[in-house]
Amino acid sequence: MLQDMDLEMFSDFSEEDRDSTMTSPVPDATDCIEELVASFLFQLSRSPEAKSTDSDSEDVSMAPAAKPAPLELHLVDRQKEGALRTMRFPKKRATGSAQPFAQLFKVLDLMHEAIIDDIPTTKRDMYYKDVPLFKKQRVVDNLVDDIAATLELDRADLNVRATSKGLVCGSGLSIHLQSGEDIRVTDTEGAVIPVGEDIKSFTVAEDLAWVLIVEKDAVFQTLCRVRFASHAGLPGRGLIITGKGYPDVATRQLVATLSACLPQRIPLLGLVDGDPYGIDILSVYKFGSRAMAHETDKLAAPRVKYLGVLASELASYGVDRDALLPISKADEKKALTMLTRPIPAKWRRELSHMLHARRKAEIEVLASAALPSTDEQMSQQSDSGTHSTERSTPSTDSALVRYLVTKIRSYVERAALRD
């Protein structure tokens, strides 16, 4: 009898570390926040203006005024590995030099409150606590990640939780929550991926054969409607995941957990647009993002492979060059930037091909691809004795489905040989 696999939420902590963290998370995080604030207050107390205000000396007014040294706070520069960026006050700025410090201390205050009261908050909640001060959501987003990186803590340690937007489809997965509830994922509808702090463990069906990560929500919904996760033309059940573009933390945590815990016979495959931004999204899943490099060990999924769409392969599927889109200046700049990074050779070839051909491909271009029907593929499988002779319905026989069946079968077969 096949036995399902139970997977713990991926973490780099041992059981002992997890137990100790559960018993004393507050002092570490609160101490770090308080020390950061105290360092600024200490500088403030030593400024010449503060000293002159507190002094009882009758000769103070006779002394020449000393030019106050700017107050400084150092935060990790997440754009440059191992670098710091310095906030200074006062500083000549069109908007005034106090605003960045006011924004920083407001975020620190809200974090401190969330930890002490043990009430989780989100970046969105923080923004709406003082919209006139922050002005843009991006200000809060950047400060939260800057603070976490500077204090060498996860956002969860600061009681700041991610907002979920990712979806998962496929009856081969059940999610067990800390509350005792279970989420039974189905083949026909996407389930919202819970934040990592709410997840206790996963149960994965023993006959799970593949995982597909899809860039676009529209493509994900199409695959759900045709029950692609249990498609008869594939060598086993699968999971389909989407982060709806650049993935949120909860989606990346799920993919990282599957990458770390699933048997090697189960490939994790990415379906993205054949353009520089699609490849960049795949890079976030596989290698992590530069903005959250301090959490890469928990969020990167190194087993993720680039299934498609590959602009360089579409001619072999009968897709006319005129069906491809011309690359923009932004595409060109993104491609050139990515080529400076240490990326897989396959990705490098695709980016170079885009720059040379001046064309990019969206997933939707597969509608014009010339591929054998899934009925023909399944007939071939039946002749070789490798799969069921059950026939797919016409609704499951789109060009996109045929493309994915062909690709996924190939990856599963190769993974089985290596396992």
Angle at 110 (CA atoms; ends 105, 112), nearest 5 degrees: 90
Domain end (from 102, 137, 161): 161
The residue ranking higher by pLDDT, 131 or 40, is 131
Q: Is residue 2 part of a domain?
A: no
Domain identity same for 309 and 352: yes
Measured CA to CA, the distance from residue 22 to residue 205 in angstroms comes to 30
Domain identity same for 154 and 173: no
Domain identity same for 194 and 270: yes
Look-up: residue for tokens 């920083």?
104
* Single-letter amino acid, residue 70: P
Output the domain CATH number for residue 26.
1.10.10.10
What letter does residue 325 receive in the DSSP assignment?
Answer: E
What letter does residue 314 receive in the DSSP assignment?
Answer: G
> Could you give the angle at which helices 98-117 and 25-45 cross, rounded to 10 degrees?
150
Residue 335, token pair as written in the block: 């491609």
Domain identity same for 285 and 354: yes
CA 246 to chain centre: 7
Q: How far apart are the first and last CA of the chain?
A: 21
Q: Is residue 332 part of a domain?
A: yes
Domain identity same for 232 and 99: no
Measured CA to CA, the distance from residue 153 to residue 145 in angstroms comes to 10
The residue ranking higher by pLDDT, 373 or 386, is 373
Give kind and range of the element (H or E) at residue 242: strand 237-242
Domain end (from 94, 128, 161): 161
Dihedrals φ, ψ of 244, to 5°? Answer: 55, 60
Burial class, 62, CB count within 10 angstroms (exposed 0-12 / middle 13-18 / buried 19+): exposed
Q: What is the pLDDT of residue 394?
A: 36
Domain end (from 128, 144, 161): 161
The predicted-structure confidence for 247-296, as pLDDT tens digits, reads as follows 998 999 999 999 999 999 999 999 999 999 999 999 999 998 876 776 77
Dihedrals φ, ψ of 79, to 5°? Answer: -85, -15
Q: Which residues pair with 8 in a beta bridge?
A: 201
Q: What is the pLDDT of residue 59?
A: 52
Domain identity same for 234 and 339: yes
In this structure, how many other beta carbons lie within 10 angstroms of the beta carbon of residue 113? 13
Measured CA to CA, the distance from residue 110 to residue 116 in angstroms comes to 10
In this structure, how many other beta carbons lie within 10 angstroms of the beta carbon of residue 260? 17
The predicted-structure confidence for 321-344, as pLDDT tens digits, reads as follows 888 899 999 999 999 999 999 999
How much is the average pLDDT of 359-382?
Answer: 65
**128 part of the active site:** yes
Q: Which of 127, 128, 277, 317 is catalytic?
A: 128
Q: Cα dist. 305→108, 165, 287 in Å? A: 39, 22, 11
Domain identity same for 218 and 87: no
Q: Is residue 62 part of a domain?
A: no
Domain identity same for 244 and 126: no
Domain identity same for 231 and 323: yes
How much is the average pLDDT of 138-148?
Answer: 88
Domain identity same for 293 and 373: yes
Residue 293, token pair as written in the block: 């490099």
Measured CA to CA, the distance from residue 25 to residue 343 in angstroms comes to 37
Domain identity same for 202 and 146: no
Among residues 147, 43, 69, which one has the least CA distance to residue 105?
A: 147
Q: Is residue 317 part of a domain?
A: yes
Residue 216: partners with Cβ closer than 8 Å, 6 or more residues away: 242, 244, 245, 273, 363
Q: Is residue 54 part of a domain?
A: no
Measured CA to CA, the distance from residue 169 to residue 220 in angstroms comes to 9
Kindly report the three-state secondary structure assignment for every residue of 359-398: EEECHHHHHHCCCCCHHHHHHHHHHHCCCCCCCCCHHHCC
Q: Cα dist. 26→106, 121, 405 in Å? A: 19, 15, 49
The residue ranking higher by pLDDT, 394 or 52, is 52
Which stretches does DSSP call E strand in 243-400? Answer: 268-271, 304-308, 325-326, 359-360
Least confident of 179-183, 244-248, 363-367, 383-387: 383-387
Output the domain CATH number for residue 224.
3.40.1360.10
Residue count of the chain, please give it: 419
Per the structure, the complete domain to which residue 42 belongs is given by: 18-47+70-161
Among residues 417, 412, 413, 418, which one has the least CA distance to residue 268?
A: 412
Q: Is residue 97 part of a domain?
A: yes
127: pLDDT strictly greater than 50: yes
How many domains, the chain?
2
* Single-letter amino acid, residue 1: M
3 state DSSP class of 199: strand
Which stretches does DSSP call E strand in 145-207? Answer: 160-161, 167-169, 173-177, 182-184, 191-192, 199-204
Least confident of 19-28, 58-67, 283-292, 396-405: 19-28
Q: What is the pLDDT of residue 402?
A: 87
Residue 145 — pLDDT band, cuts 50, 70, 90?
A: confident
* pTM of the model as a whole: 0.73
* Largest Cα–Cα separation, the chain: 103
Residue 102, token pair as written in the block: 């006011």
Q: Is residue 251 part of a domain?
A: yes
Residue 194, token pair as written in the block: 């819970």
Domain identity same for 234 and 383: yes
Q: Is residue 147 part of a domain?
A: yes
The predicted-structure confidence for 186-223, as pLDDT tens digits, reads as follows 999 999 999 888 889 999 998 899 999 999 999 999 99
